[in-house]
Structure formats: structure tokens, C-alpha cells
Amino acid sequence: MEHGARQNTTRVIAVGFISLGTLLTLSLATNIIQGINNYRLQTEQKVAVTPMLFRAPFAVSQNQADASYIEQLGLSFVALRLNVTPETVDAQHQQLLRYVLP
């Protein structure tokens, strides 16, 4: 009888260690996945920008921009530079200078 109880206790302890090992492995895998997702969210954020005269949808992130965005931004700068009147020339020039590094 004593021998059977000892084997049963050993089995319970073994199952406990296996369960804790499995839980530790799953926890580590979850933490690694969370870390990867956090890094991606920090480096690949999308920003919605709709300045000036844009007419088509586009996507912009910290690392890249759509060709549509670059084309429309260029057209907006051309419009700021060439579509002036004596009353608006100073205001449009100041608005254009906001996009230029000092």
C-alpha cells in the first residue's frame, strides 16, 4: 500500500512539473509574440493625412508613402507656387515655406 501511494504522489508531482513547463513555454511564446507586435506597431504606424487639394485615397507610414501621396503633394506645391494673386502671394509663400527645412 505504501508503495502505491508513493508512486501516485510521484505521478502527481510529474504532472505538476509538466503542466508548469507547458505554462512557462506558452507564456514565453506569448511574450515573444507581444514583443514582435509592439515593435511593429512602433515602427510601422500609419498616419492619415489630407492636406490641401488631395483628391484620391492614400496611405502614409513613418517609413514609406504611396506614389499617389507623393504625386498629389507635388501637385499641391505647384498649385501653391503658381496659383497666386497680389493678395494671396505672401500667405501662399509662407504656407509653402512650412514644408521646407530652415
**pLDDT tens-place string over residues 6-56:** 778 888 999 999 999 999 999 999 999 999 999 988 877 766 666 566 667
d(CA 97, CA 102): 9
Residue scoring higher pLDDT (75 or 13)? 13
Q: Tell me if 96 sits within 8 A of 80, measured CB to CB.
A: yes
Residue scoring higher pLDDT (46 or 82)? 82
Mean pLDDT estimate for the chain? 83
| Dihedral pair phi/psi, residue 26, rounded to 5° | -65, -40
Q: 95: pLDDT confidence band, cut at 50, 70 and 90?
A: confident
Q: What angle do CA 87, 90, 92 make, to 5 degrees?
A: 95
Q: 72: pLDDT confidence band, cut at 50, 70 and 90?
A: confident
